[in-house]
Amino acid sequence: MLSVTSEVRGAHAVVHLVGQVQSEENEAFAAGLAGLLGLSARRLILDCSDLDYLNSRGLGDLLSFYQELKARGGELAVAGARPAVLKVMGVVGLDRFLGAYPSVEAVEQAWAGR
């Protein structure tokens, strides 16, 4: 099971990923990410604190989404990722491209005043 929900907080939005990205959820995950491109905010924080599993196809979809968002002038940060999910992101260096923060609040502090 997976849910992708977002809340706009001023100039940025927090995207909550809850559940697992397994083969059964890959299509829903890709669709959920694509839907985020319609948000008014272009700076997004991916709250991964309740994301339990991310497979390679999900990782690929996340990479594509990041590239699309970046091409539109957007910015993406990962917050609160659990160790296994962080390791998966680290396989392709996604944690370094995006910046991996311990919490949503930590990203908001880092982005404050920008």
Partner 1 sequence: MVHRELVVPNDTQYLATVREEVTKVVEQSAFAPRDRKLLILAVDEAVTNIMEHAYDNDLEGELDVELILEADATRFEVIIRDSGKEFDPSSVDIPDIAKHVSKGQKHGLGIFMIRQIMDEINYTYIHGEKNQLQMIKYVDRAKRREAGGR
Residues at the contact surface with partner 1, assessed by CB under 8 A: 22-24, 52-53, 55-57, 59-61, 63-64, 67, 82-84, 87-88, 91-94
Smallest distance, partner 1 to C-beta of residue 62, A: 10
- In angstroms, rounded to a whole number, what is the distance separating the alpha carbons of residues 31 and 104? 23
* CA-to-CA separations, 89 to 40, 41, 60, in angstroms, rounded: 26, 24, 10
Smallest distance, partner 1 to C-beta of residue 98, A: 12
Cβ proximity to partner 1, 48 vs 88, nearer residue: 88
Cβ proximity to partner 1, 14 vs 74, nearer residue: 74
- In angstroms, rounded to a whole number, what is the distance separating the alpha carbons of residues 73 and 60? 20
